Amino acid sequence: MKIKAQMTMVLNLDKCIGCHTCSIPCKNVWTSRAGAEYMWFNNVETKPGIGYPKNWEDQGIYQGGWTAENNRLALAAGGRVTKLARIFNNPHLPQIDAYYEPWDYDYGSLITSPVKKHQPAIRPRSQITGNSMEIQWGPNWEDDLAGVCETGAADTNFAGLDAQKYLEFEQAFMLYLPRLCEHCLNPACAASCPSGALYKRDEDGIVLVDQARCRGWRYCVSGCPYKKVYFNWKTGTSEKCIFCYPRTESGMTTLCSASCVGRIRYVGVILYDAERISQAASAADPKEIYPALVDMMLDPNDPKVLDEAEKQGISEAFLKAAQKSPTDKLMRKWRLALPLHPEYRTLPMVWYVPPLSPIQTGTENKNPDEALSDMRIPVKYLANLLAAGDEAPVRRSLKYLMALRAYMRSLRLEKTPDKSILDQAGLDGKLDEATVLEIYDLLAIGKHKDRFVLPTAPTPDQADMRMTQGEKGFE
């Protein structure tokens, strides 16, 4: 057993309001310079839709991630020989139109315009060529289902469903999907790089790009199935989300998490067995990847795990953070959160709590399974998005959330807690009153110190500094 620590994030889609407040500080701090205009390390997509860049989920187009044959992993876009043969022609690389050609306006012409009969106007101007252009796509083009009548049918998450039925006005549904780099345990971007410029930090698992080694081959862009590596056309190197490591190293959370008005984000540490990465990623059936991924995660409160982790050099700060980690609870302990497209076999470490949605008919005499099948958002759609098409883990998570809501309603409104709700959920006896209250405290009213638990490196002057500012009472 080889124990490693990994920085992780969980996003509660049940609370995301699609305000994009997470994207703006990230953009202002990390990509506000020439060549990075079109980069959005964090963006919020409206589902259904093809996303940003266009059709990023369609690996038939981009060949991102891994494939597995006879329990052997291989890059979907081909290995070294294939890449060498195509080193000057990468057919799976997204073009600028899949993102958008960045533009600005000549605002000075409005100020210097002479007196005219009509209001002066300005046209968008390409920041790449300097020429006038027509705007045809953008990072939030499908926001709030805008244009979904044209793009929605191409959403790959409709597999097994009648897309046209759910795109009709009466049947339409919507959810917000904030996205960032997954900082995977088995990153295809790093494996795709001929220069070895992408690497996974040993101490916390954050995936970064060494700007000094990057030669701009852009195989990392096509290799990433989530399309969260970008090419800076000005510097000629690739860039990506850095999980705000200058902040996390000081015990502060990421900018996207700190700015989230809905409190949907949770950041923490998990422990996992690195020797099981290949086994989990190469599972014959894609539906087996999520269970294998959960099984890789280790209980940070297990004395045997702690003893072995200390022997292998995991710092006390990381071990303490893992024991209090909100993400460990949501991912491993309660299994409320699920990975985004585990079938890509990269073993992503940014997970999502699936959203509940209105039940379309009366709920009287409905058991939980019937209620789930009658929800506005099809369970199959969520399963395609978060569980490689397997509905079982999605239904399990949604049952927890339904039972939580019903029980807390009986407790807070009716003043008579109905314990039978927990039994009816059919959750193999694991959802007791104490667990329900703990989940409620974290998901509904979680405070800063509960949602973000990060380790910090000890300094000579402050050797006892271990947890976040939130742990010290910061709100």
pLDDT in tens, 380-410: 999 999 999 999 999 999 998 998 998 899 9
Lowest mean pLDDT among 6-10, 68-72, 199-203, 363-367: 363-367
The pLDDT of residue 282 is above 90: yes
ω into 53 cis (within 30 of 0): yes
Could you list the residue range(s) of the whole structural domain that residue 440 is in?
356-444
Q: Are residues 88 and 208 in the same domain?
A: yes
Q: Are residues 333 and 362 in the same domain?
A: no
Q: What percent of the chain has pLDDT over 90?
A: 73
- pLDDT for 291: 97
Residue 176 clears pLDDT 90, i.e. is over it: yes
- Considering the domain boundaries, does residue 101 fall inside one? no
| pLDDT beyond 70 at 468 | no
| 393 shares its domain with 430 | yes
236 lies in some domain: yes
Report pLDDT for 111: 86
Torsion angle (degrees, nearest 10) of CA 68, 242, 265, 286: 0
> Is residue 168 one of the residues assigned to a domain?
no
Same domain, 226 and 326: yes
- The domain spanning residue 188 has which CATH number? 3.30.70.20
**Predicted confidence band at 464 (pLDDT cuts at 50, 70, 90)?**
very low
Q: Find all residues with CB under 8 Å of 343, minimum gap 6, and list them.
A: 65, 286, 289, 388, 389
**Stretch 121-126: mean pLDDT:** 91
> What is the average pLDDT across 324-334?
96
Confirm whether 148 is domain-assigned.
Answer: no
69 pLDDT above the threshold of 80: yes
Query: Per-residue confidence at 81, pLDDT binned at 50, 70, 90?
Result: confident
- What per-residue confidence (pLDDT) applies to 369? 78
108 phi and psi, to 5 degrees?
A: -60, -30
Summarised one tens digit per residue, pLDDT across range 37-66 is: 999 999 999 999 999 999 999 999 999 999
81 with 191, same domain: the answer is: yes
Both 210 and 271 in a single domain?
yes
- Position 429 scores a pLDDT of 53
CA–CA distance, 310 with 165 (Å, rounded to integer): 55
- Do the domain assignments include residue 286? yes
User: CA-CA distance, 391 to 2, in Å (whole number)?
Assistant: 31
* CATH number for the domain harbouring residue 388: 1.10.3650.10
Lowest mean pLDDT among 30-34, 429-433, 442-446: 429-433
Q: Tell me whether residue 117 is in a domain.
A: no
Residue with tokens 């990623």: 281
- For residue 465, what pLDDT band results from cuts at 50, 70 and 90? very low
Which band of pLDDT confidence, cut at 50, 70 and 90, is reported for residue 188? Answer: very high
Residue whose token pair is 């954050």: 206
Is residue 319 located within the same domain as residue 464? yes
The pTM is what? 0.92
Residue 462 has pLDDT above 60, yes or no: no
- Same domain for 284 and 411, yes or no, is no
Distances 233 to 38, 128, 216, 225 between C-alpha atoms, Å: 10, 9, 9, 21
Among the listed residues 65, 152, 155, the one whose alpha carbon sits nearest the alpha carbon of residue 341: 65
Query: For residue 169, is it within any domain?
Result: no
Which is higher by pLDDT, 336 or 90? 336
Percent of the chain with pLDDT over 70: 93
Task: Say yes or no to pLDDT of 431 above 80.
Answer: no
Please provide the average confidence, as pLDDT, over all residues in the chain.
Answer: 90
Residue type, 285: D
What's the structural domain count of the chain? Answer: 2
With a cut of 60, say whether residue 463 has pLDDT above it.
no
> Do 5 and 74 reside in the same domain of the chain?
yes
Confidence of residue 87 (pLDDT cuts 50, 70, 90): confident
Q: When comparing pLDDT for 26 and 413, which is higher?
A: 26
Q: How many CB atoms lie within 10 A of CB 181?
A: 24
d(CA 470, CA 446): 12
Please indicate, yes or no, whether residues 240 and 327 belong to a single structural domain of this protein.
Answer: yes
Would residue 246 count as lying in a domain? yes
Whether residue 270 contacts residue 179, with contact meaning beta carbons closer than 8 Å, is answered with no
Tell me: do 273 and 375 sit in the same domain. no
Are the C-beta atoms of 6 and 349 separated by less than 8 Å?
A: yes
Q: Clarify whether residues 462 and 427 are in a common domain.
A: no
| Residue 464 three-state SS | coil
